[in-house]
């Protein structure tokens, strides 16, 4: 795959592919929010979250049940990071494609802040902006104050503990959102993959699923990760640098 650079035609090929695609969706990961200042999970740099923290101690039901204070503190630290950042150019140009659905693994709301209608964003791994009740039989949910999130507390409805509304390792993805994401990816002409290591399943399986149903795949990422094996066109570079020229003047839709 010819990697993108300022002087090759990878970008032009990708623009032509998008322009002739009737049904396009974006599938994103932490790399989309990297230029806003939010750490990714697996980047080869010391700030990457899984370089600094052990996911088994912070992002699983066992971790929460073993030490709920530590888990809530860590997510409240991530919330304070999100409170201080804004969408970057990549979020903004994706938001300008108002008819295109955004399937994202990200738990931030930077796509919505950039102007994407909430119903156009499929959050496969939930939302760090909300707390839910840890008792699966209780549907209590509340918006969290990012600037001043509450410490560990109990559900006002049933008394069980409240926890971030994110999908932890080993948990199922939100059923309806996951079904709709699979259904959409089975009907695409082109899937635009932005900033994901494509190593966490089942979400990463959407790339293969889209290809199996005949979709082309464009990958935008400075590091050629797992997604490149499914890419028709791999554009090597930061989302904030590549997406503006890639999408300029196009009018993409997921359900024309």
* Catalytic residue numbers, as ranges: 125
Q: What share of the chain is helix, strand, coil (3-state, %, to 5)?
A: 35, 20, 45
Site for ligand APR in 107-136 (CB under 6 A): 125
C-beta closer to ligand APR: residue 72 or 155: 72
Distance between CA atoms of 235 and 246, rounded to whole angstroms?
10
DSSP classification of residue 120: G
CB of 159 vs ligand APR, minimal distance in Å: 28
Regarding 174 and contact with ligand APR (CB under 6 A), the answer is no
Q: Which of residues 4-43 bind ligand APR (CB under 6 A)?
A: 29-31, 34-35, 40-43
Among 76, 105, 109, 127, binds ligand APR (CB under 6 A): 105
Interaction of residue 196 with ligand APR, rule CB under 6 A: yes
As a residue count, the chain comes to 256
Residue 243 tokens read as 């997406």
Determine if 221 is a binding residue for ligand APR (CB under 6 A): yes
28 near 195, Cβ under 8 Å?
yes
β-strand pairing of 141-143 with 190-194: unpaired
Q: Which residues in this chain contact ligand APR in the complex, by CB under 6 A?
A: 29-31, 34-35, 40-43, 105, 125, 195-197, 199-200, 220-223, 225, 238-239
């Amino acid at each position: 795959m010819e990697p993108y650079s300022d002087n090759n035609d990878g970008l032009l090929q990708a623009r032509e592919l998008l322009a002739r695609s009737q049904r396009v969706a974006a599938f994103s990961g932490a790399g989309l929010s990297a230029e806003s200042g939010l750490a990714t999970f697996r980047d080869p740099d010391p700030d990457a979250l899984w370089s600094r923290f052990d996911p088994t101690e912070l992002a699983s039901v066992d971790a929460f049940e073993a030490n709920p204070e530590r888990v809530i503190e860590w997510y409240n630290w991530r919330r304070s990071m999100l409170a201080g950042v804004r969408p970057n150019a990549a979020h903004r140009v994706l938001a300008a494609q108002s008819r295109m659905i955004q399937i994202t693994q990200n738990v931030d709301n930077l796509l919505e802040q950039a102007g994407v209608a909430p119903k156009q964003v499929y959050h496969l791994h939930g939302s760090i902006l909300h707390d839910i009740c840890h008792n699966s039989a209780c549907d209590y949910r509340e918006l969290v104050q990012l600037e001043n999130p509450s410490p560990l507390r109990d559900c006002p409805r049933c008394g069980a503990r409240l926890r971030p509304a994110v999908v932890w390792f080993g948990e199922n993805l939100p059923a309806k959102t996951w079904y709709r994401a699979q259904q959409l990816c089975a009907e695409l002409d082109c899937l635009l993959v932005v900033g994901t290591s494509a190593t966490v399943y089942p979400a990463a399986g959407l790339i293969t699923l889209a290809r199996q149903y005949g979709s082309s795949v464009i990958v935008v990422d400075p590091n050629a990760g797992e997604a490149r094996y499914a890419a028709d066109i791999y554009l090597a570079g930061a989302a904030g640098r590549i997406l503006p020229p890639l999408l300029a003047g196009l009018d993409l839709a997921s359900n024309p």
